[in-house]
Amino acid sequence: MGLLDGKVAFIFGVANHRSIAWGIAKELHAHGATIALSIFNEDLRRRVEPLAEEVGCDFIETCDVNNDDAIDAVFEKFKERYGQLDVLVHSIGFAPREALGGRFIDIKREDFKLTLESSAYSLVALAKRAEPLMSEGGSIMSMTYYAAEKYIPDYNAMAIAKSALEACTRYMAVDMGHKQIRVNAISAGPIKTLAAAGIPGFRGLLKHFDAVAPLGKTVTVEDVGKTAVYLASDLSRMVTGEIIYVDSGYQVLGITSPRDEM
């Protein structure tokens, strides 16, 4: 018996084999879930199709999460195919290049708005459409980062979006709690992905993280996927509104000197 036997998971945000969403898809599938995928646009299909095959998924539909009609359409297709939804995974983030790095105070209104819309409001927009399909209860999760709480160089607009995403998580957990729909976020340590490559100082950040994180290892997309299994399953049935760290222990540190210099 798999922990997720009989559950259907709708996962947004696979771009390639490095995507956190892909690590989640693999782990949810390994525990018995049926996987449905939504990708940003048709350009990604060529990369994503072979991955989808690995997890027995033939439902790959495009959706730009900044477009309400596209979101309605993709949930309509999902409903026609599966009827019921158990697990929604939002693993999406976007910020214009100009909104990452440099002085935060120079950020432009349009870039600020676009980052918040793409990376935080999109969770609300997806959850709103998922709610009626979760008539038996469900689990909604998104991916956040420590920059939501503390200053991290270069994250700028994305840091603000992650703060908003975490607040959205708490508000939706309360809104949907009486329907037994749980809403949580995973705060992952730095992982080399397409999105991460857009952060100017990411390489240095990863090096620093590796040197100081208590568990002494870089987080992988599979590590995040394993926590996603917990959040998707009944093992976390009384857990909602939480930010769960999958960060090799980094966020407990008050002083971040390399271990061998202490």
- Which residue in the list 155, 230, 245, 250 is annotated as catalytic? 155
Within 8 A by CB and 6+ apart from 222, the residues are 23, 26, 27
Collapsing DSSP states into helix, strand and coil, what is residue 81? Answer: helix
Give the footprint of ligand NAD on residues 191-210 (CB under 6 A). 191, 193-196
Q: In the set 164, 190, 232, 243, which binds ligand NAD (CB under 6 A)?
A: 190
Return the bridge partners of 62, or none.
Answer: 39
Distance (Å, rounded) from C-alpha 12 to C-alpha 37?
A: 6
Contact 39, 48 (CB under 8 A): yes
231 touches ligand NAD (CB under 6 A)? no
Stretch that binds ligand NAD, among 123-131, 169-177, 185-193, 229-237 (CB under 6 A): 185-193
- Which residue in the list 145, 230, 245, 250 is annotated as catalytic? 145
Within 8 A by CB and 6+ apart from 241, the residues are 169, 170, 173, 174, 183, 184
| Nearest by Cα to 164 from 144, 140, 150, 182 | 144
Stretch that binds ligand NAD, among 3-11, 60-68, 148-156, 232-240 (CB under 6 A): 60-68
Active site residue 155: yes
Active site residue 151: no
Q: DSSP code of 189?
A: P
C-beta closer to ligand NAD: residue 93 or 138: 93
Q: In the set 2, 3, 47, 64, which binds ligand NAD (CB under 6 A)?
A: 64
Give the footprint of ligand NAD on residues 83-142 (CB under 6 A). 91-94, 118
Residues at the interface with ligand NAD (CB under 6 A): 13-15, 18-21, 40, 63-66, 91-94, 118, 143-145, 188, 190-191, 193-196
